[in-house]
């Protein structure tokens, strides 16, 4: 018979208020994960106010535990805790409602962050600066640097149709001197030549009428069809450029919804079938800029299409407000879809930075836990929760809840202006979480994916003003 695997023994450290909720969580998790546990309740009301030195002083742990788990807010060197406990010390999640996910990540071998090998990509992002001739050189360079910081590989200089920009060569040279790779968006042969001489590596675009301008440029070009909404002439343009030794890629051009969107996707598929070895590009802005929808989901879908079809470059703009972060979205999306397509796995539970509007899952304590917590409070500090369509406020003075934060605030009878200001901010966050389907945790930022703005936590300010254990009874 094989050797029986020893069950892990884990000690979980917490404060008085979280004891019941933690035990309830661990009863279910331990049965699934197969470990034995002990809950060590230290003499402090709020577990988040602990520090490792304070825990080490108050923790009295019997021998035989494999590890001790501290609340995620307990920041600092955990060595004193490990020494006092005689075993290794680790940080758990900041919110005990995340314990299942925390154990799942540990079981998968990745306690935090993406899975091994995640982050590679095959799609190049070309980010266009629209109406570049109208910008000062300094503004052009600033815009290019912002796009590069967000993930752009190539800066596309958008020229104005119907005129010739005499300063294009200088603009391209300035961008090149600043370390940027540069493409230029123009159909004007004189601008093509000036851009190529100044160091542009790609010209967008040529068709059968302007193909001769590509000869001798010394840089790559993008081919579009001679007739809109078709692939007409692309094969002839490919043959000419191949004979001249001009690097090229094709763009069948995606159309907006209502103007041939579905058919244009079909053209990309047909182009890949007809020209299996030719590089391709997609200008995704025709959809993100021209659709009343937040751009992140659209960018992910188009990036997935490009990954499957071997389309290795996308051109994007971020002019309209709802698409203002398209470059960053595409940078995250190209990694997600590459990992999914190459590994043949669903693009799910991999990239939380792209979950902007709603959270991955809702975590709730439940009415029983909230009732017990409210009954156990011995101090006047107000704790806020957002669950089951209502904002919950509790302290030693009572337990109140309401879907309307104004009515709830009236029940609390707050008169101190600074306290009222703080509660107003927190209640607005709670209401936003209820409205959108997000998780609310008092004194923490709502999570908006890569757009999250971390807050200076009121709780962190309190920790600086008081020592652990103060006001614990």
Question: What is the pLDDT, as a whole number, of residue 463?
Answer: 55
Q: Within a domain: residue 357? A: no
Q: Which residue has the higher pLDDT, 228 or 124?
A: 124
Instruction: Say which range, 36-50, 102-116, 270-284, has the weakest mean pLDDT.
Output: 102-116
Question: What is the pLDDT, as a whole number, of residue 1?
Answer: 45
Across the strands, what pairs with 185? 158, 204
CA atoms of 234 and 223, how far apart (whole Å): 7
Q: Within a domain: residue 112? A: no
Residues 267 and 379 occupy one common structural domain: no
Find the mean pLDDT for residues 177-194.
96
Whether pLDDT at 407 is above 60? yes
Q: Within a domain: residue 228? A: yes
The pTM is what?
0.82
Residues 295 and 383 occupy one common structural domain: no
CATH number at residue 83: 3.40.50
Using pLDDT thresholds of 50, 70 and 90, give the confidence band for residue 416.
Answer: very high
Question: What is the pLDDT, as a whole number, of residue 130?
Answer: 94
Residues 246 and 386 occupy one common structural domain: no
Residues 335 and 373 occupy one common structural domain: no
Q: Considering the chain, what percentage of its residues have pLDDT values greater than 90?
A: 73
Q: Within a domain: residue 234? A: yes
Mean pLDDT score of the chain, rounded to an integer? 90
Find the mean pLDDT for residues 375-379.
89
Residues 132 and 99 occupy one common structural domain: no
Q: How many domains does the chain have?
A: 3
Residues 254 and 171 occupy one common structural domain: yes
Question: What is the pLDDT, as a whole number, of residue 461?
Answer: 62
Question: What is the pLDDT, as a whole number, of residue 100?
Answer: 82
Q: Within a domain: residue 118? A: no
79, 107, 135 — which closes off a domain? 107
Whether pLDDT at 101 is above 80? no
Find the mean pLDDT for residues 54-68.
92
Residues 209 and 306 occupy one common structural domain: yes
Question: What is the pLDDT, as a whole number, of residue 460?
Answer: 61
Instruction: Say which range, 29-38, 177-186, 378-387, 456-465, has the weakest mean pLDDT.
Output: 456-465
Q: What is the pLDDT of residues 290-313, one digit of tens each?
A: 999 999 999 999 999 999 999 999
Q: Within a domain: residue 206? A: yes
Question: What is the pLDDT, as a whole number, of residue 420?
Answer: 95
Residues 340 and 395 occupy one common structural domain: no
Q: What is the pLDDT of residues 417-455, one digit of tens each?
A: 999 999 999 999 999 999 999 999 999 899 999 999 988
CB atoms within 10 A of CB 100: 16
Q: What is the pLDDT of residues 212-244, one digit of tens each?
A: 999 989 999 999 999 988 999 999 999 999 999
Residues 100 and 169 occupy one common structural domain: no
Find the mean pLDDT for residues 268-288.
97
Q: Which residue has the higher pLDDT, 89 or 455?
A: 89
Residues 391 and 340 occupy one common structural domain: no
107, 141, 160 — which closes off a domain? 107
Q: Within a domain: residue 340? A: yes
60, 76, 107 — which closes off a domain? 107
Question: What is the pLDDT, as a whole number, of residue 465?
Answer: 59
CATH number at residue 181: 3.20.20.20
Q: Within a domain: residue 360? A: no
CA end-to-end span of the chain: 53
Question: What is the pLDDT, as a whole number, of residue 33?
Answer: 82
Residues 312 and 449 occupy one common structural domain: no
> Range of 416's domain?
367-465
Question: What is the pLDDT, as a whole number, of residue 21?
Answer: 87
Using pLDDT thresholds of 50, 70 and 90, give the confidence band for residue 99.
Answer: confident
Using pLDDT thresholds of 50, 70 and 90, give the confidence band for residue 471.
Answer: very low
Find the mean pLDDT for residues 344-348.
91
Find the mean pLDDT for residues 13-22.
88
Residues 264 and 191 occupy one common structural domain: yes
């Amino acid at each position: 018979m094989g050797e029986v695997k020893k069950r892990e023994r884990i000690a979980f450290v917490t404060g008085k208020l979280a004891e019941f909720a933690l035990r309830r969580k661990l009863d279910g998790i331990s049965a699934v994960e197969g470990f034995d546990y002990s809950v060590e309740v230290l003499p402090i009301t709020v577990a988040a106010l602990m520090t490792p030195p304070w825990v080490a002083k108050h923790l009295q742990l019997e021998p035989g535990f494999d590890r001790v788990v501290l609340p995620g807010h307990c920041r600092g060197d955990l060595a004193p805790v490990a020494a006092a406990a005689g075993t290794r010390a680790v940080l758990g999640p900041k919110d005990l409602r995340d314990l299942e996910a925390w154990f799942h990540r540990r079981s998968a071998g990745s306690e935090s962050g993406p899975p091994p090998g995640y982050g590679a990509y095959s799609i190049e992002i070309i980010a266009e600066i629209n109406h570049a001739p109208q910008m000062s050189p300094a503004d052009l360079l600033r815009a290019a640097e912002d796009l590069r910081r967000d993930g752009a590989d190539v800066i596309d200089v958008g020229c104005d149709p119907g005129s010739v920009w005499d300063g294009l060569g200088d603009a391209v040279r300035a961008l090149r001197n600043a370390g940027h790779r540069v493409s230029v968006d123009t159909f004007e042969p004189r601008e093509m030549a000036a851009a190529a001489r100044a160091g542009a590596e790609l010209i967008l675009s040529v068709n059968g009428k302007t193909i001769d301008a590509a000869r001798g440029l010394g840089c790559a070009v993008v081919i579009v069809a001679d007739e809109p909404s078709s692939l007409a002439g692309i094969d002839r343009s490919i043959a000419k450029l191949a004979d001249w030794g001009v690097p090229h890629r094709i763009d069948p051009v995606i159309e907006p919804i209502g103007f041939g969107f579905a058919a244009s996707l079909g053209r990309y598929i047909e182009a890949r079938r007809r020209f299996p070895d030719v590089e391709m590009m997609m200008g995704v802005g025709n959809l993100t800029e021209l659709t009343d929808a937040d751009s992140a989901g659209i960018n992910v879908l188009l990036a997935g299409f490009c990954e499957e079809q071997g389309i290795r470059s996308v051109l994007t703009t971020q002019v309209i407000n709802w698409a203002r972060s398209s470059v960053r979205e595409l940078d995250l999306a190209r990694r997600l879809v590459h990992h999914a397509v190459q590994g043949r796995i669903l693009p799910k539970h991999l990239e939380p930075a792209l979950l902007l509007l709603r959270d991955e899952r809702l975590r709730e304590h439940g009415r029983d836990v909230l009732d017990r917590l409210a009954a156990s409070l011995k101090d006047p500090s107000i704790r806020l929760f957002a669950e089951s369509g209502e904002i919950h406020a509790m302290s030693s003075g009572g337990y109140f809840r309401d879907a309307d934060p104004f009515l709830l605030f009236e029940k609390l009878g707050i008169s101190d202006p600074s306290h009222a200001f703080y509660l107003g901010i927190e209640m607005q966050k709670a209401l936003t979480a209820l409205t959108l389907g997000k998780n609310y945790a008092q004194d923490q930022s709502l999570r908006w994916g890569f757009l999250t703005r971390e807050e200076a936590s009121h709780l962190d300010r309190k920790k600086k003003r008081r020592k652990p254990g103060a006001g614990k009874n």
